[in-house]
A and B are shown apart, each in its own frame.
Chain A
Amino acid sequence: MEKFISVTSIATPFPRVNVDTDIIIPAKHLKSIKRTGFGEHAFETIRYEADGKLIPDNVFDGERYKGAKILIAGDNFGCGSSREHAPWAIAELGYRCIIAPSFADIFAGNCVKNGILTVALKQEEVDALVLAAEAGHEIHVNLNDQAVTCQNAKYEFDFNPAHKEMLLNGLDEIGQTLQSGTAIKSYEDKQKLMTPWLFRG
Chain B
Amino acid sequence: MPRTMYDKIWDHHVVEDRGNGVVLLYIDRHLVHEVTSPQAFDGLRASGRPVRRVDSIIAVPDHNVPTKDRNLPNPDPMSTAQLEALEANAREFGLDYIDMNDDRQGIVHVVGPEQGFTQPGVTLVCGDSHTSTHGAFGALAFGIGTSEVEHVLATQTLELKKSKNMRVTVTGELPLGCSAKDVALAIIGAIGTGGGTAHVIEYAGPVIEALSMEGRMTLCNMSIEAGARAGLVAPDEKTFEYLKGRPYAPKGGQWEAAVNYWKALKSDEGAHFDKEITIDGSQIVPLVTWGTSPEDVVPVTANVPGPDDYTDPAKKEAVEKALDYMGYAAGTPMTGFKVDRVFIGSCTNSRIEDMREAASVIKGRKVADHIIEAMVVPGSGLVKLQAEEEGLDKVFTDAGFEWRDPGCSMCLAMNPDKAGPGEHVASTSNRNFVGRQGPGARTHLVSPAMAAAAAIAGHFVDVRNF
User: Interface on A for B, CB 8 Å cutoff?
Assistant: 15-18, 20, 22-23, 26-28, 30-35, 45, 50, 74-76, 79-84, 87, 102, 104-106, 109-110, 113-114, 160-162, 173-175, 177-178, 180, 183-184, 187-188, 191, 194-201
Contact = CB atoms under 8 A, between A and B. Distances in A.
A22 B436 contact: yes
Contacts of B431: 20, 22, 80
9 contacts: A50-B421, A82-B131, A83-B36, A106-B129, A173-B159, A174-B155, A178-B49, A180-B24, A180-B157
A31 B64 contact: yes
Interface in B293-317: 293, 314-315
A200 B436 CA distance: 39
Contacts of B47: 174-175
Given A82-B143, A173-B159, A195 B16 contact: no
Interface string B115-128: 00001011000011
A17 to B, nearest CB: 5
A50 B47 CA distance: 41
A84 B318 contact: no
Contact of A105 (B127, B197, B293, B412): B197
B28 interface: yes
Contacts of A113: 145, 147-148
B38 A33 contact: yes
A44 B123 CA distance: 36
Contacts, number: 189
A75 B413 contact: no
A84 B39 CA distance: 10
Contact of B155 (A28, A82, A177): A177
Interface of B: 15-16, 18-20, 22, 24, 26, 28-29, 35-36, 38-39, 42-43, 47, 49, 55-56, 63-64, 76, 78-79, 81-82, 85, 119, 121-122, 127-129, 131, 142-148, 150-151, 154-157, 159, 161, 163, 193-194, 197-198, 227, 229, 249-251, 254, 257-258, 261, 293, 314-315, 318, 321, 412-414, 421, 431, 433-436, 439-440
A113 B154 CA distance: 15
Nearest to B143: A82
A105 B119 CA distance: 24
A45 B436 CA distance: 12
B39 A105 contact: no
A27 B412 CA distance: 6
A188 B227 CA distance: 32
A102 B145 contact: no
Given A84-B145, A114-B147, A195 B227 contact: no
A194 B127 CA distance: 28
A198 B254 CA distance: 10
Contacts of A160: 20, 22, 161
Contacts of B227: 76, 79, 104-105
Contact of A184 (B15, B20, B43): B15
A161 B261 CA distance: 34
Nearest to A199: B55
A29 B29 CA distance: 28
A177 B24 contact: yes
A80 B431 CA distance: 8
Nearest to B196: A105
Contact of B159 (A22, A106, A114, A177): A177
Contacts of B20: 160-162
A82 B127 contact: yes
A196 B193 CA distance: 39
A83 B145 contact: yes
B433 A80 contact: yes
Closest 8 CB pairs of A and B: A197-B250, A113-B147, A110-B145, A33-B38, A84-B145, A82-B143, A31-B78, A200-B55
A31 B414 contact: yes
B87 to A, nearest CB: 12
Contacts of A33: 38-39, 42, 81-82, 85
A79 B250 CA distance: 36
Contacts of B251: 197
Nearest to B122: A198
Contacts of B163: 105
Contacts of A81: 128-129, 143
A26 B145 contact: no
Most chain B CB neighbours (cut-off 10 Å) among A32, A82, A199 = A82
Contacts of A105: 163, 197-198, 227, 229
Given A27-B412, A30-B414, 16 more contacts: A20-B293, A23-B433, A27-B414, A34-B38, A81-B129, A82-B128, A102-B197, A106-B142, A106-B145, A113-B148, A161-B20, A174-B150, A183-B24, A184-B156, A197-B251, A198-B29
Contacts of B434: 20, 22-23, 45
A74 B49 contact: no
B76 A18 contact: no
A106 B229 CA distance: 8
Nearest to A201: B55
A196 to B, nearest CB: 6
